[in-house]
A and B are shown apart, each in its own frame.
Chain A
Amino acid sequence: MTGSEGPLEIGRFTFTRDEILRFARDFDPQPFHVDEAAAAASHFGGLVASGWHTVCTWMGLFVRANGAAAGLPPDHPAVLSPVGVGFGLEVLKWPAPVRADDTIVFFTEVLEARPSGTRPGWTIYHRRNSARRQDGTEVLSFELRHMAPAPTS
């Protein structure tokens, strides 16, 4: 089984000033992520979101877009871990910054999907994921390899 039906939208998120500051103060307090005056004086010319904030937001939307089918027992892998475990990511790029009040649209695309050779009922996925501003400018892309419970329907 191989992909692909092209990029599928998984959700949208508006990066408010407060959201950008909250994430960056916890995880990435570089001046252009946490200090508006320093950001204005930097080569970015204003406050920008941590690249990891964009990536983590992608994951939050991806998980919420892939809930388990109803009626499964609580210890079913599709309930415990609907999108499973990741092996790693490659060629992650942040080609343009995300600024306060940008609404970002998030996508996923299956490049390849194949049954796990060692774990029956699991599928190994290779995806290309991305995010764009509403004007189409890409702000994030990366390839992800992960193993998820095979579709139950």
Chain B
Amino acid sequence: MPDIFFEDFIIGEVKTFGSHQVSREEIIAFAGEFDPQPMHLDEAAGKASLLGGMAASGWHSCAILMRLICDGFLLRTAGMGSPGVTENKWLAPIFPDDVLTMRRTVLESRTSKSKPEMGLVTFRFELVKPDKTVAMSQVCVIMIGRRNPGARLA
């Protein structure tokens, strides 16, 4: 059962979660299915490409971020899905053996008039490399169940 609810997300809070070392094999496996451009599949092609080396698909980065969000806090949270992503920026390529952590900032929090059992929390999620480079930045809204459904907040 979830033990983190809508009320637990405090605007302005910044926390860092988890880590994931990206393997060459997973870059190739993901790209083969979802982004089969040679720059994501082959070392020489990656080196000759704009990326400067075989790098993960940006969509793979989104999937890795989602997993870090799940393992970091969402699987313990009364999550109800997401209506969407406000923006997602790919800022730096992710290469084999890069270690990524997820940094979460709570940007906004509001209750829902039409659905008193939930609220909407807007997060900025970033994938951060050990040298502090931000490889990807995403602003995403997640619907989260309320501990006290329908309670009036000032």
A residues within 8 Å of B by Cβ? 26-30, 32, 42-44, 48, 50-52, 55-57, 59-60, 63-64, 74-75, 77, 79-95, 97, 142, 147
Contacts and interface: CB of A to CB of B under 8 A. Distances in A.
A61 to B, nearest CB: 9
Contacts of A28: 63, 66-67, 70
Per DSSP, are chain B's interface residues mostly helix, strand or loop, or mixed?
A: mixed
Contacts, number: 108
Interface of B: 33-39, 45, 48-51, 57-59, 62-64, 66-67, 70, 74-75, 79-90
Given A89-B88, A90-B86, A147-B50, 18 more contacts: A44-B81, A51-B82, A52-B59, A56-B34, A56-B35, A57-B34, A75-B45, A79-B38, A80-B37, A81-B38, A82-B37, A84-B50, A85-B50, A85-B90, A88-B87, A91-B86, A92-B85, A142-B84
Nearest to A94: B84
Given A43-B80, A89-B85, A93-B83, A83 B62 contact: no
14 contacts: A26-B67, A27-B63, A29-B70, A30-B79, A55-B62, A56-B33, A60-B36, A63-B35, A64-B36, A80-B39, A81-B39, A83-B37, A91-B86, A147-B50
A29 B79 CA distance: 12
A87 B90 contact: yes
Contact of B67 (A27, A81, A87): A27
A63 B40 CA distance: 12
| Across the A-B interface, the 9 shortest Cβ-Cβ residue pairs | A92-B85, A93-B84, A88-B89, A27-B63, A56-B34, A60-B34, A80-B49, A81-B39, A89-B88
A88 B90 contact: yes
A91 B88 CA distance: 9
A33 B143 CA distance: 15
Contacts of A75: 45, 48
Instruction: Identify the interface centre among B59, B79, B86, B90: most chain A CB within 10 Å of its CB.
Output: B59
A94 B86 contact: no
A52 B60 CA distance: 10
A81 B49 contact: yes
A37 B89 CA distance: 36
A59 B56 CA distance: 14
A29 B75 contact: yes
Nearest to B85: A92
B123 to A, nearest CB: 14
